[in-house]
Structure 1
């Protein structure tokens, strides 16, 4: 597995010790997330759009309506961030957060072939709800025609991680103030059925 790229856009300017160089670190961040933020410039104005995504190998898949101008950009920046904890220090200056983040730059490729589109949509669906692709109705030709699916290479990417306790100034360790980390977790709740769900249809095992 080759290491992460080192370009002018992926090289960290500050806190370089938080940079991860292994490609596996990028996969870990992407594979634990469900929502990314797609950054584009449209008509000279920046836009950041939250959207679902999926990964297969070294390709990230994004999708949206064929009428979405944000999916027409030649260059994009995609970010995924996990907030793992609130770092409470003795001084306000040293308060921080524990996090894992990935940033991907590149020129996305709009998929034309229906089979390629389905591959991308499967990756996105399985990232959001593993197992759902095999039980739900697949997109028909009309729905595929109304959907844009982008494939973005993971060639140019960076990963930044901050973990651990606060880092206070030496003299502040003598203060009678609590310091530590408040963990943050995202968990799935109990499934809520559609009000129009016909009686007798149970929650499938991959959901419940």
Structure 2
């Protein structure tokens, strides 16, 4: 993709002339400008539209990213349900075992499957969940930067951190609107708890080469 605006205009004009002569619509042109230098939302929106029209694989890549995120969320939810089912099964088995004991033994027999044990397992689950979510954020950041998504491949100094974070969130919403729907997060894992952390995304990209 050329970064020479004058050359891009010449190529567009030549394509338009050729289209008039052949009667065929001109092929989509590469988007104008350098996505790493975009600081304006309107320019970013236009760039994404032009890039999606120019590169037929672009939409597929974004949809695949969304689908992969959705699949991981569903897998994490299944793990949560499995922990709960396992706890309930073990508690039921323990109750059945204790019920067979003599009354004198039942009163003194310690319980192993307790509420505290369950809460500890769930706390470990949520700790692991948030670690995995942060890893997913970093993967998504690298992918979006590699695919020249404005505000994810931005050069240092083009935007302040707060503006960059706000634009990143807005761009994520825009990509979901264009290419897919946001995965539904169910049960005790709330969307706001797993929201894409663009602040950490910015910090990670500042220290990583994409």
Q: TM-score, with normalisation over the residues of structure 2?
A: 0.22
Work out which of the two has the higher radius of gyration on C-alpha atoms and give 1 or 2: 2
- Please state which structure has a larger fraction of its residues in strand: 1
Q: TM-score, with normalisation over the residues of structure 1?
A: 0.22
- Please state which structure has a larger fraction of its residues in helix: 2
